[in-house]
Amino acid sequence: MPSTPEATCSPANNGVPLTVSNLRTYFFTSRGTVKAVDDVSFHLKKGECLCLVGESGCGKTVTALSLLRLFDSPPGAIVSGQACFHGEDLLRLPEEELRRIRGNKISMIFQDPQSSLNPVLRVGYQIEELIKVHRPVSDAEARARAVELMKAVGIPDAEKRSTDYPHQFSGGMKQRVMIAMALSCDPEILVADEPTTALDATIKANIIKIFKGLKESKNMSILFITHDFGVVAQIADRVTVMYAGKVAEAGTAEDIFYAPKHPYTVALINCLPDMSGGQGKLANIPGSPPSLVNPPSGCHFHPRCPKVMMDICPRVDPYETRISGEHVVFCHLYP
Ligand SMILES: Nc1ncnc2c1ncn2[C@@H]1O[C@H](COP(=O)(O)OP(=O)(O)OP(=O)(O)O)[C@@H](O)[C@H]1O
Ligand SMILES: [Mg+2]
C-alpha cells in the first residue's frame, strides 16, 4: 500500500473512467531498489485505445500490473500514487473489492499467454469457469457464451475447438483464446500486454482488427502495451512513451507520429522500419536502456541523447511541459 497520503479520487467522470497519477512501484531487492515505475501519470478515456510504448524493461508491464495490484509483493510495493477508477482508488481498495473489479470491470491479457492457460484443461472449459466466477449463469449458458466468445475473436469451428486443449492451438489462436477469456465478463477496460508480440504479420493484423472492433462496437477502453511502433500506428488514439520507469512524452497518435518532441520519441519513430523484428531494440540509438536500480542522474535518457545539454540534463529531473492540448513532454529542450 502507498505509504504517503494522497488526495481522494474525484467523483466518477464518464468520459475518463481511469486516471493514474504519480504512480511509483518499486521492487526492494538484494541488488537495491528497482524503481520500475517512477512517477507515471496517464488517463484512459471511454472507447479509446491508449498505447503504452517503450523499450524492454522500461516498466510497461509493472505499470499495468500495478493497476490491479498483481505484481510480486514482496519484493514489489506501490510507493505512491493514485489510480482512480470511477471515483475509487484501485491502489487503496481492500483486496476483496479489488477482486470484484479484476477480470470483471477491468480485464487483463497477460504478456505470457502460456502462463495464463492451464495445459490440462480444455480451452472452452477454462473460459466457462471464468464466466461463472463473475456471472450467475448455468453450465449450459456458460458453455454457449464461451463458444460465442471464441467465435467473436475469430476462432474457426469454435464449437469443436472449445473441447481442445491449449497445446492443440497455434500461437495466434492461443492469443485469441486469451482475448476471449479477457472478454468473458464484458469488461469496461481491457489491459492488453504485448498481445501481438511473436505473431506473424497476418495474425497480428487480425488481432489488431479484433481490438479495433471492441473499441468501436462496445465502446471499450483499451490500454495496449507494446514496443512495436508499427502496431501503435495502427491502433492508438493516444500514446504514452515510457523511458526507464518514467513518462518521456504523451499525446494523441498524431502528436506522437507527426510532431514528436522528445529525442527518445524521435529516435523511436526514426527506426520504425527496424522495429518490425519485435526485439524492442532501437538500432538508431546508441547505448542500451539503463539499470533501474541506479539510473542516470537528471534525465535518465541523457547518456544516449543526441541533443543532451550537459549543463542541465545530467543534473535536473525534467518536468512536464505542455506543448499543446494533450501533448506533454518531459525534456529540458522545452522549458
Ligand atoms: N518481481 C520483480 N522483482 C524485481 N524486479 C522486477 C520484478 N518485476 C519486474 N521487475 C523489474 O522492473 C522493471 C520493469 O519491468 P517490466 O516488466 O515492467 O518491463 P517492460 O517494459 O514490460 O519490458 P518488456 O518490454 O520486456 O516486457 C525491470 O527492470 C524489471 O527487471
Ligand atoms: Mg512487459
Give pLDDT tens digits for 142-198. 999 999 999 988 899 999 999 999 999 988 888 889 888 988 888 999 999 998 877
> Which pLDDT score is estimated for 198?
72
Q: Which residues contact 102 (CB under 8 A, 6 or more apart)?
A: 68, 70, 108
Give the pLDDT confidence of 39-80 residue by residue, as tens digits: 999 999 999 999 999 988 999 999 999 999 999 999 999 999
Phi-psi group of 88: left, alpha or beta (phi > 0 → left; psi -120 to 50 → alpha; rest → beta): beta
Q: What ligand 1 atom has the least distance to the C-alpha of 245?
A: 14
Predicted confidence (pLDDT) at residue 242 exceeds the cutoff of 80: yes
Pocket test for ligand 1, best of 28, 52, 60 (most atoms within 8 A of CB): 60
Alpha helices in the chain, H assignment, sequence order: 60-67, 95-101, 113-116, 123-134, 139-152, 158-161, 171-182, 201-218, 229-235, 253-258, 263-270
Residue nearest to atom 27 of ligand 1 (CA): 56
| Nearest alpha carbon, ligand 1 atom 11 | 36
Rg of the chain over Cα atoms, rounded to whole angstroms, equals 20
Whether the pLDDT of residue 102 is over 60: the answer is: yes
**Three cell numbers, residue 201:** 504479420
Residues with CB under 5 A from ligand 2 (ion): 61, 111
Q: How confident is the model at residue 6 (pLDDT cuts 50, 70, 90)?
A: low
By mean pLDDT, which of 23-27, 156-160, 182-186, 308-312 is the weakest?
182-186
pTM metric for this prediction: 0.91
Lay out the sheet containing 76-85: strands in order across: 32-44, 18-29, 76-85, 88-89
CA-based diameter of the chain, in Å? 68
Q: d(Cα 42, Cα 39) in Å, to the nearest integer?
A: 10
Distances, alpha carbon 8 to alpha carbons 69, 88, 137, 260, in Å:
19, 8, 36, 34
Q: What percent of the chain has pLDDT over 70?
A: 92
